Amino acid sequence: MFDAKKVKNDCIAWIQDFFEKNGPGCNAVVGISGGKDSSVVAALCVQALGKERVIGVLMPCGVQHDIDMAQLLVNHLGIRHYVINIQEAVEGVKKAMPFALSTQSKTNLPPRIRMSVLYAVAQSHNGRVANTCNLSEDWVGYSTRYGDAAGDFSPCSHLTVQEVKLLGQELGLPEVLVNKVPIDGLCGKTDEENLGFTYAELDRYIRTGEIEDEQKKARIDHLHRVNQFKLELMPSFVPDIT
């Protein structure tokens, strides 16, 4: 049984311990999308460090139709925040390329530029960058390597989507943020449309190993296998110098 109150308190203590060891007095820098994951991570950081030490960064690429949700969160938490539109940076990189980018390259460019922005903010504000991924997304590789998959500390990477939602409720976040339908922010489709299965199905399979649809099981297993490298350290050659 998932005890949201206990997990919340344990995670807050873990964040406090991380900052004591990795930057006493530093700020937490959180990319704010307006979805449940960034909302929960930001709220946890506020409870762990105080709102004065949490900086939200909103990074639309041109016009973001749901940016009002991100604004709702920073207002709800009362945290300092910046709005940094990355469209010119994205288009600048595209124009500078001496060849046509693949569809996948174009899809993953914005999240990688967003991560560069977060680190620029962090280095200018004595900060540490929060990773906002959850276990469900990580399990099937639904993240961009060196984009949203990066960060200095990760409060929710061992929590499923359903557990993150329960944590959001425990943190007293607005219901519209906790239950907002997740959209990838890259091609405009919902996460579940892209994946081919629901998060409820995925979360149940992760925690219990149970799933009725064999085709969905095969797809989840395949995605987990081929994306495992995203969660591992970069392979490095070790010379034999003995």
Residue pLDDT, tens place only, 203-226: 999 999 999 999 999 999 999 999
Alpha-carbon Rg for the chain in angstroms: 18
Asked whether the predicted pLDDT for residue 32 surpasses 90, the reply is: yes
Tell me the CA end-to-end span of the chain in Å, nearest whole number.
51
Q: Are 128 and 17 in contact (CB under 8 A)?
A: no
Q: Are 190 and 182 in contact (CB under 8 A)?
A: yes
pTM attached to this predicted model: 0.94
How far is residue 190's CA from residue 181's CA, in Å, rounded to a whole number? 7
How far is residue 40's CA from residue 177's CA, in Å, rounded to a whole number? 9
How far is residue 45's CA from residue 144's CA, in Å, rounded to a whole number? 23
Tokens of 201: 């199905």
Q: Give the pLDDT confidence score for residue 184 in this predicted structure.
A: 57
Domain ranges of the chain: 4-231
Q: Which residue has the higher pLDDT, 23 or 79?
A: 79
Domain 4-231 sits in which CATH superfamily?
A: HUPs (3.40.50.620)
What is the mean predicted confidence (pLDDT) over 37-61?
98
What is the mean predicted confidence (pLDDT) over 40-62?
98
How far is residue 46's CA from residue 206's CA, in Å, rounded to a whole number? 29
Q: Are 116 and 150 in contact (CB under 8 A)?
A: no
Q: Are 94 and 102 in contact (CB under 8 A)?
A: no
